[in-house]
A and B are shown apart, each in its own frame.
Chain A
């Protein structure tokens, strides 16, 4: 609940005077104004001003654009603020500007020193480390590994291990497995096959499982 000496602000009083408050706010405001002489005076003054404006309305231009008027006023305020800031800055001490030529000389000296340092560093590196560093830098700049493109998901791959062999293609897999056995021999062929040979413990037979690329 609003206390008596807790007065509403001017905007609320103006809205009350003009009859623009909502039901609940209007009811509360009416109770306060009825008991507060100071706010009563404010409301009376606002209503009088409103009456004067209504009386002066016929003197205003008929096609007055209120929105445009509001924008113009906002623009004028901004111009005023900017001008005030400029005047305030006028008396501040200004940082001393170094001559441009001096800056260029310093940059040139630094660049030369960097070139000398990098050349000395590179030539003093062992060959293997230099190649390693070069490869790593190349990878960073190109997003690739080595000098040829990295494998894509679409490539076919054959895998052979002592437990199984498999062909992978587009995320699909076919795997040939074999029972656990001693003396498993893994072999691959560069034309596109991978195989595992084992001796079956039960039958004593030598079996070779292989997977192939498509061309074979």
Chain B
């Protein structure tokens, strides 16, 4: 009787109040929730589970006195994935005091039928980065670093496009934006799985492949050696040796991982991060035990043949960061595979929507 009543309730297309997400911001949060709309959300029974389809459109107000550059919201669903969590980050913002801005959370959750009375989804704040690079938030997901790197990239790219406009005029700016558009369209699309620990699911024999490294002249880190195990469409257990060639202590670095397949195609597969304490001139080894797998997406199955690494970001002990310059990104191999920064992607979108004059107006804002 109870289960049939539950099933009947579950068939209701609208979201009951019991499954609405709990939005929990700290009392002294620099942003406040103005409104939350769950318009198209619904929950329905799927076999022995409940499928929650949540579409939340949040309207947040900047209640601080500084301009917001980026924000990360933490999304947790303890009943569905006790260990896993998600985040929604909005970057390249320029939100002044008392201004409102939207954040959208689209989530699909497969959770057990025997759910507890608690809200299935909790949305909280992980961090906010301001225009003076100050930060607010619990930073459970290392949002400070992520938002800071994004802000540094945004400043680099705005400066680059502004300099093109100043030195070469509108034509030069337009040419660079069109090149970026073409590059974004040409970048190979791929799906990827990350599995914790070892894994192999194909018949291909596993082999050790040596990393080749792109030399970035200004990088404070020099990768000296590295290898990973490759098997068909899987790459796992990368091992890298790096040296701090700067005169400052380093606490975090990321090495971008470019894979080549047998057909000669290249793509940026992911990054190998490391949190370490690396003094000037010191060496260290980075080991990761996860596996990347690239499922077949029609056509030829991917067969990994070679790998190239490059230093994609470094965080010094004082919290400042190093990122590759535009000149570094212009090297042929990196230019082919590197994804554009958040800001470059946003500026290109403005050009597509509002044209060259709209883009110039945006660049002149700050």
A207 — which chain B residues lie within 8 A by C-beta? 88-90, 103-104
Per a CB cutoff under 8 Å, which of B86, B202, B203, B273 touches A209?
B86
- B90 engages A188 (CB within 8 Å): no
**Interface residue? A205 (CB, 8 A):** yes
Interface of chain A residues 101 through 127 with chain B (CB within 8 A): none
* Residue from B90, B109, B202 within 8 A of A145 (CB atoms): B202
- Size category of the binding interface on chain B: 35 or more
Cα A97 to Cα B274 in complex, Å, equals 76
Q: Interface residue count for A (Cβ, 8 Å)?
A: 62
A183 with B109: CB separation less than 8 A: no
Which of A147, A186, A193, A200 is close to B104, meaning CB atoms less than 8 Å apart? A200
Please name all residues of chain A whose beta carbon is closer than 8 Å to the beta carbon of B231 when the two chains form the complex.
Answer: 146
Q: Which residues of B contact A69 (CB under 8 A)?
A: none
Q: How many A-B residue pairs have CB under 8 A?
A: 217
Contact check, A190 vs B90: say whether CB atoms are below 8 A apart.
Answer: no
Interface residue A74 (Cβ < 8 Å from any Cβ of B): no
Contact of B349 with A204 in the complex, beta carbons under 8 Å: yes
Tell me, rounded to whole Å, the shortest Cβ–Cβ distance linking A36 to chain B.
73
Residue pair A136, B203 in contact (C-beta under 8 Å): yes
In angstroms, how far is the closest chain B Cβ from the Cβ of A144?
8
A146 in contact with B141 given A190-B238, A213-B196 (CB within 8 Å): no
* Selected contact of A155 from candidates B84, B195, B350, CB within 8 Å: B195
Type the 1/0 row for A197-216, where 1 means its CB is closer than 8 Å to any CB of B: 10110011111111111101
* Max count, chain A CB within 10 A of own CB: residue among B77, B112, B290, B348: B290
User: Within the complex, which residue of A185, A192, A200 is in contact with B196, where a contact is CB–CB below 8 Å?
Assistant: A192
Tell me which of B128-136, B264-272, B327-335 binds A.
B264-272
CB neighbours of B348 from chain A (8 A): 183
Nearest CB of chain A from residue B206's CB, rounded to whole Å: 5
Q: Which residue on chain B has the smallest CB distance to residue A199?
A: B349
> From A146, which residue of chain B is reached at the shortest CB distance?
B200
A205 to B203, CA, bound (A): 44
Cα(A158)–Cα(B198), bound, Å: 14
- Inter-subunit contact B81/A167 (CB<8 Å): yes
Beta-carbon contact of B292 and A188 below 8 Å: yes
- A187 and B258 CA atoms in complex are apart in Å by 12
Interfacial chain A residues near B205, Cβ < 8 Å: 131-132, 134-135, 146
Report if B99 contacts A (CB, 8 A).
no
State which of B107, B189, B203, B257 has its C-beta within 8 Å of the C-beta of A176: B107
**B304 CB within 8 Å of chain A:** no
Task: Tell me if B162 is interfacial: C-beta within 8 Å of chain A.
Answer: no
Our pick among A150, A169, A188 for the contact of B84 (Cβ within 8 Å) is A169
Give A188 Cβ to nearest chain B Cβ, in Å: 4
Whether B4 is near chain A, meaning CB under 8 Å from some CB there, is: no
Complexed CA–CA distance, A140 and B325 (Å): 51
A157 adjacent to B193 (CB under 8 Å): yes
Is B24 among interface residues, defined by CB-CB distance under 8 A? no
Query: For residue B238, which residues in chain A have a CB less than 8 angstroms away from its CB?
Result: 190
Partner of B86, one of A145, A174, A206: A174
Q: Bound state CA distance, A209 and B90, in angstroms?
A: 9
Is B241 among interface residues, defined by CB-CB distance under 8 A?
A: no
Stretch among B166-174, B218-226, B338-346 lining the A interface = B338-346
Q: What is the CA–CA distance of A192 and B254 in the complex, to the nearest angstrom?
A: 13
Q: Which of A169, A190, A209 contacts B194 (CB 8 A)?
A: A190
Would you call A183 and B84 a contact (CB within 8 A)?
no
Contact of B350 among A188, A194, A197, A204 (CB under 8 A): A204
Q: Is B82 an interface residue (CB 8 A)?
A: yes
Q: Is the CB of A197 within 8 A of B342?
A: yes
Q: CB-CB contacts of B205-240 with A at 8 A, as 1s and 0s? A: 111000000000000000000000001000000100
Closest to A175 in B: B108
Q: How far is the CA of A187 from the CA of B86 in the complex (A)?
A: 14
Beyond A131-B205, A177-B106, 19 additional pairs, beta carbon < 8 A: A131-B207, A136-B203, A156-B83, A158-B195, A159-B193, A172-B110, A173-B80, A174-B80, A174-B86, A176-B75, A176-B107, A177-B107, A178-B106, A185-B187, A186-B191, A190-B272, A204-B353, A205-B346, A206-B343
B-to-A contact residues, CB < 8 Å: 75, 77, 80-93, 101-112, 141-142, 184, 187, 189-207, 231, 238, 254, 257, 268-273, 288, 290, 292, 339-340, 342-343, 345-346, 348-350, 353
A-side residues, CB < 8 A to B, are: 131-132, 134-136, 139, 145-151, 155-162, 164-165, 167-169, 172-179, 183-194, 197, 199-200, 203-214, 216
What 10 A-B pairs are tightest by C-beta distance, nearest first? A214-B83, A146-B200, A167-B84, A148-B198, A188-B270, A131-B205, A161-B191, A175-B108, A190-B288, A158-B194
Q: What are 23 residue pairs bridging A and B, where the CB atoms are less than 8 Å apart in the complex?
A: A155-B196, A155-B197, A158-B195, A159-B194, A160-B192, A162-B191, A164-B108, A167-B81, A167-B85, A174-B77, A174-B85, A174-B110, A176-B107, A183-B349, A187-B268, A190-B271, A206-B92, A206-B343, A206-B345, A208-B91, A210-B89, A211-B84, A211-B86
